[in-house]
């Protein structure tokens, strides 16, 4: 199941596409970001650690920088929610039992 806020990017096309794939899509109640807390926390981290450090002067390749950020965030950056492990390490631990 995908649970999303009510943003325009999650409206008709997205909703029907995931439905066609057999995936249930549910919306959180409007005005209740706490119901999507993990995603909201991720946005805060992105804002503090990624977007504020960008230098928009000159030619910035945002796709490249975002790909680098995602690699760092998922494979190198320790997360307190995972007891100091990276998301990748935590996933690997879960999969191996």
Q: How many residues does the chain have?
A: 97
CA distance 80 to 67: 22
* Of 74, 68, 80, 69, residue with least CA distance to 46: 69
CA distance 63 to 74: 16
> How much is the average pLDDT of 37-53?
88
- At residue 46 the predicted structure's pLDDT band, cuts being 50, 70 and 90, is very high
Q: Is the pTM of this model over 0.75?
A: no
Instruction: Examine the pLDDT at 47 and tell me if it is beyond 70.
Output: yes
Q: How far is CA 69 from CA 39, 57, 78, in A?
A: 16, 19, 13
- At residue 59 the predicted structure's pLDDT band, cuts being 50, 70 and 90, is low
Angle at the Cα of 73 from the Cα atoms of 70 and 79, rounded to 5 degrees? 155
28 token code pair: 């959180």
């Amino acid at each position: 199941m995908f649970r999303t806020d009510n943003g325009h990017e999650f409206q008709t096309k997205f909703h029907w596409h995931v439905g066609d794939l057999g995936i249930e899509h549910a919306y959180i109640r409007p005005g209740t970001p706490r119901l999507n807390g993990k995603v909201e926390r991720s946005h805060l981290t992105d804002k503090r650690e990624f977007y504020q450090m960008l230098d928009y002067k000159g030619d910035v390749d945002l796709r490249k920088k975002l790909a680098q950020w995602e690699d760092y965030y998922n494979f190198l950056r320790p997360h307190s929610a995972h007891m100091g492990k990276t998301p990748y390490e935590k996933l690997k631990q879960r999969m191996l039992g």
